[in-house]
Every structure is written in structure tokens, then in C-alpha cells.
Structure 1
């Protein structure tokens, strides 16, 4: 069923990618993301579409997306997809242990990479010659690729599609909102850390969501204290000098889904591409993750 492998080099500007399905305009075309032929019904087979946002980089957004994906896929009957639209910093393939894989194309479109039978992933990271290669694209080219991810990836039937976004509120975010306008976005989870410098950026992300009409599922505070792997004692590393995510949630009327303590083994799991939840089930961070994930499920089912 699988035909050609995606070539390693990034497509030349103003050209149609050699791996693009025949019916879809190239990413540099003015028709990218707008063609009726491209429209299809890909998203109609996806039950829930969730954005994972953080106004600031380095707060653990991609790691949270990966853990959320692992948790959903723990149920063999739940089909989960992860779309990495952090075009310039695609870390999801590494975090999930599939960085050496590549996307393929067939008559039905682009086939995502499978972590396991019920967990599929698409990322520009699969299309790079090496993990060291920089992607230097202007907005239109980024938008075109995101459009193709949404309209040409053959996800099949999905229960959840998690969309991992870059920091900020610019091109990639606006593209996702625009292209998912018809099928809809079920909500956004906002990730922060306790210190004010991160909370300031999250306030901008909240403003963005409200301006474009995205439902905010809730806030998650990452790195909320440090858990010693040996004695399980928790201490503060990033002091919440202005009240942290709890205070922000009260000010904005947004639910605080939970706080995940900093466990150094989270980073280790991400480096080795394994599920932290499976590897360290007794960690307080795992308990926090699972409580947050259960709450997200409850909110989406209401």
C-alpha cells in the first residue's frame, strides 16, 4: 500500500514537493490550503482536536503533548494522533523515540509515522536530512506545510488529534485556526511554569484564544517544585513570586487543571523516547499528569 518515501531534502521554494499528493497544490502556491481539491474530509474522521499552547518556549509544552498522547493511547481502543506544527523546532519525533523514521506517501495521501498501532505522528522533523538541519522558511511556506498536514495526511479514524504548537501567537497559530475553522477546535490546553516571566506570555496566549474564539480547556503548571527521585521530597525551584498558575487561573476565570512537579527523569524519558508515565508510575509527576489527563477527558465529554 505504501508507495514512495519522502525525499530527505526540503522542497525548493516555488516548487511542488515531490512527495505531495497529486491533487494538492504545492506549499508555495497561492492555492495552498484554499483549493477545493485539497479540502477533502480529513478532519471529519477526527472526533476531538486539541491545541497545546504556551506563549513561552522551554516550559515543557512538547513533553506534555507527548505524555498526553501516551496516556490516551494507553487504551488500545483509543486512536490518537499528534501533529507537530512547531516547524522551526520539531522536537516531538525525538521525545517519542521515532526521530529516525520518515513519512511516506501513497495514493491516499501522506502516511503518518506510527509510535504504536493506535498512535500516529506527523512532523516536519521526519523530512529533514539530519536533526541538525535548520528550517529557514517564511510564513507562506510554513502555512502551506501546515495546510498539507491537515488536508493530506491519511489519519484514518482518530479519537484525539493533539496539535503541538510553537511558542507565541503568530503564523502557525493563525494557520491552524484558519484551516480548522470548518471542522472546529475542541479546545486548547495552556502550559506555563510558576515564574512571572512565563505567566506574562501565557496571558498573551489567553488573549489570543479569546480573540479568535478558541475554547480554553484549562491551565497546566509545569515544573511546579522539584521531586527528588530517591526520597520523593518536593522543593521549590521556580518560585511563584506572583502566585503562579493558581493566581492566574483565579484572575482569568480559567480552570487550573493541575501542577506537574519537576522530576529529572521526565527529561531522561524524553531523550530516550519512552513514556515517562510507563517508566515511572510511582512518581508524583506521573500522578499529576494522570489527574490532569483525566480532567481533560471529563471536560471534553461534557
Structure 2
């Protein structure tokens, strides 16, 4: 009598041609069902257009057809979710998806596509707003070649401490756990001149080897663009979602749309859009001045079916506090509503 256990056992012997690992171990087999002698299951692929698609489907089907009592086999094929893909690539590389001592409930990546729109600022303010709500929060600076998080949070350089279990992140004054390549350098202005594979390796280490402990939220500050670093995060880290950051200029809007399409292609949920430098407030009359032109945030949010989380004004006080390592002193009245919406969407 054929049953699900025998089917799974047969599929255990099917190996991925590139890594030699079992497709069961890689999490590629889903929804196994047996009715009489008819067997049906789904083969989940990291991407639908992988070159080994037909070979894997054929090998899996033949393995089940070889079982006694099987009268027919139907194999459905679908693309993995972002979290399934994280497991797949982690097992492919022989690594655990995250550090043994870590318990991280939600991971939120902040992405812009373009540099200079305030992505790191939004990451820092988001971490602060979540912390003020009582959550345990971590902040991972994944911008390896252009890190700015330590400069914003620390008046004096701090160094992470190591243990036999891993690296301990540095804590800010308000208790946010922070890890950045700049915390490991001798001088904060020392250049990190690395190629893509080294950058990707560093990001994976920050995820797997840092002892984050128990966190409600880990905010990941991504570098600009849609290449190695962003791709690594979306393949190696189980994201609750992505927050997109833009500014009013059409050029910034065009590039953030590229980032949105990358997130969609990788299956990462888009939590919403934040427009930074949206306007300035006249200190004398209180009028809003759109220095960089009219806002395009509503247009972008409608195009991708994501909510506009908020518009952040130009504020000289933010610049002063970031430059002095005192961002935690910035009042969060404008940013608190953004965090509230994000918490609801990340928990859905």
C-alpha cells in the first residue's frame, strides 16, 4: 500500500544536481497527497526559470513511479516564497538559516534603489520608533561600503565584543542592538574596498554569527541599488517585508520603482513607501515648501499597490543630531504613525 511516508522516502533520494543535497532537505517538496495508487506533489523551485527545472521534475517523478503500487504521478511546479528560498540557499551553502542563539520575530529591510534619499535615516528612525513602543529592536547596517548607522547613533566609537558563540552587537543609549562594518574598523573613514562576494559574505555573517538574542524587530539598512548586497539579504534572510524610501524628484522615483520590482521579483512583501525630504516648513509662517518639487509618493504607491506610510520633511535638526551621534534625541512625533502602520502590516 502506497502512502505519503513512502513517497517522501523515495524523494529523499533525489539529489539537486548542483549541490548534491536531497530535494527533501532543501525544502523543495510540498503538498504530497496519495489517493489509491495516484500520487501528486508540488516541486518548489527557487525560481521558475532555473536551468535544472525539467531535470528535477523528471527525476522526482521517476523516483516515485518506481515505488510498488504507484499507478500514476503528477508533479506540479511553483516558485518558492521568499522564506522558502532563504531556507533553500542556506541549506545549499551548508549553513543554518540564523544563529542558534537568536530568536527574531520580524525582519524589515529598508531599501531605496538610489543613494542619497535618506534610507539610513529612515532605518534609524524606524528602529527608534519601534523601540519607543517597547519592542526589542536590532539594527543591521548592510551597507558595507558606505555605512552610516554608527555615526548617527554613537558620539564616540564603540567596538563589538566577541565570545566563543559569536559577535555581540553594540547597544545604543536606548537599547537598540547595532552591528555595522564601521564598528569593526580602526578608523571610521577607512575604506572597505571589497568585491561583491566578500560583501555578501559579511552580510551573511552579520545575520548568522551576531548574537542578536531575542528581538521583536530587526531593521536591515540596505545599500543603494539592486545588486549583490540587496540580493544577498533577500536570499539569506527571512524578511517580514521591505520598506521603500524615495524623495520627490522624478529621478529618485524612477530608481525606487526598480527596487520595488526587485522586491516583487524576489517575493519579498512590500510593507509601504516613505517619502523623505518631502517638503520644508517655513520657520516664520509654517508654510510647507516643496523644495524638490511636488510629491510623487502617491503615484508610486498606487502603481505598486502599497500604502504610503508617510512623508518626512527636511529638518536641519535631523542633520545636526546625526552628525553628532545623537539621533536618539530626535522627537518621533512624525515617525510614530509610520511605525504603527508598519507593525500592523508586518504582523499580518
1:87-236 counterparts in 2 under 5 A? 87-97=144-154, 100-116=157-173, 118-180=175-237, 184-229=238-283, 231-236=285-290
CA distance in 1, matches of 2:345, 2:97: 29
Cα RMSD of the aligned pairs, angstroms, is 2.2
CA distance in 2, matches of 1:275, 1:74: 13
Q: TM-score, normalised by structure 1?
A: 0.80
CA distance in 2, matches of 1:42, 1:92: 26
Which secondary structure state, in structure 2, belongs to the residue aligned with residue 121 of structure 1? strand
Which secondary structure state, in structure 1, belongs to the residue aligned with residue 312 of structure 2? strand
Matched, 1:78 2:135: yes
For structure 1, list consecutive stretches of 5 or more residues without a partner in the other structure: 1-31
After superposing the two structures, state which structure 1 stretch, 287-296 or 100-109, moved more: 287-296
For structure 2, list consecutive stretches of 5 or more residues without a partner in the other structure: 1-89
Contact 1:33–1:147 (8 Å) recurs in 2: no
Change (3 A) 1:193 1:42: farther
CA distance in 2, matches of 1:103, 1:131: 14
Change (3 A) 1:102 1:235: same
CA distance in 1, matches of 2:101, 2:284: 45
Q: Which residue of 1 aligns with 2:342?
A: 296
Change (3 A) 1:175 1:99: farther
CA distance in 1, matches of 2:93, 2:258: 32
Aligned partner (choices 302, 309, 315) of residue 250 of structure 1: 302
Contact 2:102–2:213 (8 Å) recurs in 1: no
Q: TM-score, normalised by structure 2?
A: 0.70
**Deviation of the 1:170 alpha carbon:** 0.5
**Deviation of the 1:151 alpha carbon:** 0.7
**Deviation of the 1:96 alpha carbon:** 1.0
Aligned pairs, how many?
A: 260
1:9-24 counterparts in 2 under 5 A? none
Change (3 A) 1:63 1:229: farther
Which secondary structure state, in structure 2, belongs to the residue aligned with residue 82 of structure 1? strand
User: Which deviations, in whole Å up to 9, do the C-alpha atoms of 1:128-186 show, x marking residues without a partner?
Assistant: 12122111000111111111111100011000000000000011011111212xxx210
Contact 1:84–1:123 (8 Å) recurs in 2: yes
Q: Which residue of 1 aligns with 2:323?
A: 271
CA distance in 2, matches of 1:50, 1:101: 24
**Deviation of the 1:251 alpha carbon:** 2.2
Contact 1:224–1:259 (8 Å) recurs in 2: yes
CA distance in 1, matches of 2:269, 2:239: 8
- Structure possessing the higher radius of gyration over alpha carbons: 2
CA distance in 1, matches of 2:336, 2:191: 35
Change (3 A) 1:229 1:120: farther
Matched, 1:53 2:111: yes
CA distance in 2, matches of 1:214, 1:99: 36
After superposing the two structures, state which structure 1 stretch, 65-74 or 113-122, moved more: 113-122
Change (3 A) 1:91 1:196: same
**Deviation of the 1:261 alpha carbon:** 1.2
Contact 2:102–2:211 (8 Å) recurs in 1: no
CA distance in 2, matches of 1:229, 1:82: 33
